[in-house]
């Protein structure tokens, strides 16, 4: 008989694509995923899986190149850099109009209510609305207004929502933490991309952060210029041509000098890495908070299996790295499950 798994999918921006690889490996081993709780990208992937549409979602995100991702950026400089209507509109097309109580397995999406300063669990109602609220990353996506509540990313209070599955009566709880600070031996697999596309996308992301706040008209003009330049460049470049030099994936080496600064734990502090923009600064701060909170959640409710994805493998908003992150999630899940199963024998 298959072992029933309660799966917990944490928040972590673009690293959430690794959840797909984890799910694939768990299913490959013959486990039965009987319920899911997710936060932010964990809520996105978990909700799509519970709706039985994960293959369609994976096909879509793996088909996106840098220009496609750019076209999904509907700029807003009100309460977030991106309105999210294009991205979440596509997700809505994939999952359809379905309520959480009608999904094939129990599902919980976790969001944060800024108005009342509390954690919100979505266990009934519209699946798409729950996903949108849980994944409203502050500074990146605009919040969701629900009555008198302003809902944003659940990672503000609970980046790894283990509690909703504790009473599920499954054989084991598997949690996927996207904010691990160890696992230094794991690297993203190198999948070549057109260098010109990547350069333009990175420039746009940096522009979103470094120029906030400024007038809406100026923002729209900036985006239009970026889009036109990228389209002109794309017309001259075959998107199937690979870059001559792969993007480096190795982490920066820590300083080894005697006077190099150290953290409270005694580890060397890397002082040559910093935020490239205001948006990057906000998201790095958000990630530091999530990392600390995740450790408290793990200590309070230790899962049977903890799959740790290192947060250094990509930046929070590098949503164009789906193929690499899915492959990495599968690799880490395989190694972690091997260790767990060996211990059980």
Q: What gap in Å lies between CA 335 and CA 329, rounded to an integer?
A: 10
CB 269, CB 256: distance < 8 Å: no
The yes-or-no answer on residue 153 being catalytic is: yes
In sign, the C-alpha dihedral spanning 163, 287, 326, 119 is positive
Cis bond before residue 230 (omega within 30° of 0): no
Q: What gap in Å lies between CA 212 and CA 151, rounded to an integer?
A: 22
User: Phi, psi at residue 139, to the nearest 5°?
Assistant: 80, -25
b/e map 82-108, b = 16+ CB within 10 Å: bbbeebbeebbebbeebebeebebbbb
Q: How distant is the alpha carbon of residue 184 from its chain centre? A: 19
Q: What gap in Å lies between CA 135 and CA 307, rounded to an integer?
A: 21
Q: What gap in Å lies between CA 338 and CA 188, rounded to an integer?
A: 20
Q: Which of the 8 DSSP states describes residue 35?
A: E
Q: What gap in Å lies between CA 181 and CA 308, rounded to an integer?
A: 9
Q: What gap in Å lies between CA 42 and CA 160, rounded to an integer?
A: 9
Q: What gap in Å lies between CA 226 and CA 230, rounded to an integer?
A: 6
The yes-or-no answer on residue 271 being catalytic is: no
In sign, the C-alpha dihedral spanning 84, 87, 93, 94 is negative
CB 314, CB 188: distance < 8 Å: yes
Q: Which of the 8 DSSP states describes residue 115?
A: T
Which of 134, 139, 153, 180 is the catalytic position?
153
Number of C-beta neighbours around residue 292 at 10 A: 11
Q: Which residues are catalytic?
A: 40, 153
């Amino acid at each position: 008989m298959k072992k029933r798994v309660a799966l917990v999918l944490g928040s972590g921006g673009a690293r959430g694509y690794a959840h797909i690889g984890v799910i694939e490996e768990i299913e490959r081993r013959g486990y039965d995923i009987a319920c899911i709780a997710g936060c932010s990208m964990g809520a996105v992937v978990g909700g799509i899986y519970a709706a039985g549409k994960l293959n369609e979602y994976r096909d879509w995100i793996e088909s996106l190149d840098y220009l496609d991702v750019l076209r999904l950026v509907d700029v807003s400089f009100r309460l977030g850099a991106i309105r999210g209507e294009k991205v979440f509109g596509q997700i809505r097309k994939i999952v359809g109009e379905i309520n959480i109580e009608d999904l094939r397995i129990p599902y919980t999406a976790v969001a944060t209510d800024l108005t009342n300063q509390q954690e919100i669990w979505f266990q009934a109602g519209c699946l798409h609305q729950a996903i949108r609220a849980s994944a409203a990353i502050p500074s990146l996506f605009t919040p969701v207004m629900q009555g008198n509540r302003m809902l944003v990313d659940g990672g503000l209070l609970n980046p790894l929502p283990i509690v909703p599955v504790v009473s599920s009566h499954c054989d084991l709880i598997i949690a996927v933490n996207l904010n691990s600070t160890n696992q230094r031996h794991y690297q993203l697999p190198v999948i070549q991309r057109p260098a010109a596309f990547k350069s333009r996308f990175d420039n746009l992301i940096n522009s979103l952060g470094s120029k906030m706040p400024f007038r809406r008209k100026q923002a729209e003009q900036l985006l239009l210029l970026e889009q036109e330049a990228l389209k002109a460049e794309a017309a001259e470049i075959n998107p199937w041509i690979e870059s001559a030099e792969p993007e480096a994936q190795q982490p920066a080496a820590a300083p080894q000098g005697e006077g190099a600064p150290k953290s409270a734990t005694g580890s060397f502090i890397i002082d040559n890495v910093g935020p490239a923009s205001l948006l990057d600064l906000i998201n790095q701060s958000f990630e530091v908070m999530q990392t600390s909170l995740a450790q408290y959640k793990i200590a309070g409710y230790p899962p049977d299996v903890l799959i740790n994805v290192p947060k250094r493998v990509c930046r929070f908003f590098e949503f164009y790295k789906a193929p690499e992150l899915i492959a990495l999630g599968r690799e880490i899940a395989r190694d972690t499950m091997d260790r767990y199963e060996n211990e059980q024998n």
